[in-house]
Structure 1
Amino acid sequence: MLSISIQNLITSVSYRNPRQTKTELLNVMKHYRSLHAKVEYFSFNDGVRKKLIVLKGTIPIKYKGSYYNIPLSFWLLDTHPANAPICYVNPTNSMSIKVSRNVDSSGKIYLPYLHEWNQNRSDLLSLIQICIITFSESSPVYAKSPFSGGEGSQPVDPVFSSLLEQQHPSSSNSTIPTLHLLNSVRSAVQDKLNVALREEFEIKGCELQSLRKMRDELNSGKVSIETAITESKRNTDALEKNVEDLEGKLKELEEANEKLEGEKEKDLDEALVGTAPLYNQLFHTFAKEASIDDAIYYLGEGLRRGVIDCDSFLKNVRKLSRQQFELRSLMIKCREKAGLRV
């Protein structure tokens, strides 16, 4: 029945994420039966009024050794859980709001959990548990003094307040046996103790759940940090190895540079020396034959451009051709002597 009722409320307001909203409401009302969901109009600061689901009722807190029920309301925006709920303290006629960093004069609640609301990590049940923990440290309301408008010395509605007054017999019932009266008081005290113990158990359970969630988040962060440290160490080792290799290469280059600077400039002809006289003869013969090719080429260019006449061209070409023939013949003999392919 509760599930159907919540579903009807959500349908009437048209929430963007009805499934998660329904799940969170059912979860809260399962743990805190003093909270009830209904649809009411909420007035925003700009004057706009909108139908929203509001969770109203009381939450149990333990303040300075006594138990109190604090009246609160949690307004769920139609974008829930993308946006944080709007929360208020709803004091009764006998209460006044105690302004603090968590509650303003209108009763609106301000918490880091609301400011840092994240739809993937935040939920309504955790918000209520944080309210219990926060208001157990600093009560958001105080009892009005019956004699003045000033602040009372104690928060409202202690569990054990006026217990004996409720159970004390009036003058018209003075005939009730003393033993009967004593048993009645004992029974009432026992009931109050049972309620107090149950509420204490719920509060501790909420605190434990919040601590477990915090522990899981810390463990997850620890794994991420360890992974980052390992990756950083691996990168550092690789960089150190690269630096070491580069320093070695730089040292080799410096040594080679010093060696080159210490050597005298060599003549190219002296540097090109064969391993045997035959190879030297073959090398020089080939160089001369190649130079004759170049000379014949440039003679042709001179003739084409009119620098030399035809007779001079033919005379020099015949002379160079004879020399080239002799050089080629000598190269063939040298290659045969050296056992090279002709």
Structure 2
Amino acid sequence: MAPPSPPPPATGAQYAHQFLNTALSQRGPSALPYAEDVKWLIRNHLVALADAFPSLHPKAALFTHNDGRAAHLLQADGTIPIHHGGATYNLPAVIWLPEPYPRSPPLFFLSPTRDMLIKPHHPLVDRSGLVANAPYLRSWVFPSSNLLDLVRSLSHLFGLDPPLFTRSVANPPAPAPAPVPTPPPAASSPAPRQELYSPAPRPYRFPASPQLAARPPPTEDPAEVFRRNAISKLVDTAYADAAALRTAREAEVDTLFAVQAELRARGDMVGDGVRRIAEEKEALERRLQDVMMATDVTEAWVAQNRKGSAAHDTDADGAIQPADALSRQMLDCTATDLALEDTIYALDKAVQDGSVPFDGYLRSVRALAREQFFQRVLCTKVNNAQQQAHVARMAARAPQYAS
């Protein structure tokens, strides 16, 4: 069995995808200065460009504006192939993505080496290497315009009129395209000038851009320009409306979350109230059971005493008799206490009238008060004993009511 083949290396699109996922997901001071709602579109543009042109690699570098401001921006650095004179050449280029990209076009620069020159008075490239007059850049429409179509259109235009040529020690001949370094030609091969760039070993042909295939630069139909501007305006309006609608919906969602939290709090309060009501209901049911037991005891006592009251000759003293020894003792103690109270009251009247001397009054009151104290202590003890006996009787009758 043959050994397994090693995994294939990452393609340009895979590398671009990994790099851009890391670069565009950064937050804080190291975040790139692009709008959050278009970062996915920027990533798609660069990944598609790296997939079609593997020689262009996405990077992040420091860019200095004309006013001196510096910012970390994305760029696609490398070479773009052109087809000229039956051969394919590679032009060194850098594509910068400014802060408002993709709503604004990118900045396309040619980066010639020290042995290369920019063709003077080129219709698309100025002396600094900036590609400023390309029709695709002047007619940039968001969000349909992209980097892939831009590079294809420039590759087609530069193939018709190369913007770079190599230096020559003698009279310079007609401009020739230049990008991929190659060894100098052999001595047996005469050449009119020293070529630093030659056709690539694997020619790469690109189809003509739809915007540039049928007409020479830079004339355009006014109706087409108006249509593109109208589309751009409609797209911007749609994005603005979508952003406003999203803000309104987020506010509504926040309000609904607040209402939900309040309802949950009120639900907890209602649950607590229901629990307290259930506890109070149980307490009332126990109280009702006690009252029913006491009612039964009272009714039984009334029925029993009605049977004995049939005789009319019963005297008043015997109409009410203590039920037991404790009740009889309580009756005696209470009667003695009240009699002592009346005696003390009578002595007070007597001493006020002068019938009883004051020293005799003090001795009598002291003796009566002592006796009254002992009677009240005895009443308290008897009362406690009666309560214990009552509880014992109710406990003995509890199984009857529970069933």
TM-score, normalised to structure 1, is 0.48
TM-score, normalised to structure 2, is 0.41
Whose Rg is larger? 2
